[in-house]
Structure 1
């Protein structure tokens, strides 16, 4: 059982502030790695930090767990937080995420292996031809931070 699950056992569904990382992984052709989550939304691989884990380590771990891709160097893009990102999950859990967004072109392997749980599909996409149902965060990152994606 992870840190967040342990917290939930203590406090139930009450709102939390949770810190996580996402990574815009770019291949040599400038395509961006996206994962399709079970609810059908395409987004950046990422997830929440565990105790004693750095944001960078969480980012690398989540990319590997969700896509099978190993990455190295990360470049900070921005931090996203605030009430507009509030989430209420189907199970009733509520949280305000603090999302640290990175980009990485340092791909150690490019063999995609989805886990079938958090990811039901993954692939590299041209940033001008994103799949239908791509997360608004991805579109915002690409528009507002285009200099990172060249």
Structure 2
């Protein structure tokens, strides 16, 4: 979760699910740490290089059931971090994203990934 100097959160409008907004992120590659995957995915999807990150929470369990586009079924485990220490020029990866934008926490888009809304709410409760 990237937060700018105005306290707004960076969201990515995704190609899949099409048009739905969510936090930048992705899947872990072999031998990556959780922090490394967060830094890599944010850089790939936004062009931003992250500095210090703080753990918000880890999300797992039966409510995180997912069915992939190819039909694979799995339960996801998500580690959510907050970062307001970043550099670079915001650049949208057109292969994965339709758009990138910063949003005020009380003005989030309607079509959002539910677990990402949960992480944003947890950030508000724990850090603000």
- TM-score normalised by length of structure 1: 0.78
1:117 is matched with 95
1:96 is matched with 75
Q: Does structure 1 residue 145 correspond to structure 2 residue 123?
A: yes
State the secondary structure of the residue aligned to 2:116.
Answer: helix
Q: Does structure 1 residue 58 correspond to structure 2 residue 37?
A: yes
1:107 is matched with 86
> 1:116/1:132 Cα in 2 relative to 1: closer, same or farther (>3 Å)?
same
27-36 or 138-147: bigger deviation: 138-147
- TM-score normalised by length of structure 2: 0.91
Distance of 1:103 and 1:69 partners within structure 2: 14
Among 10, 16, 19, the alignment partner of 1:40 is: 19
After superposition, where does 1:14-93 map in structure 2 within 5 Å?
24-38=1-15, 39-93=18-72
Count of aligned pairs between the two proteins: 126
Structure 1 segments unaligned to the other structure (5+ residues): 1-23
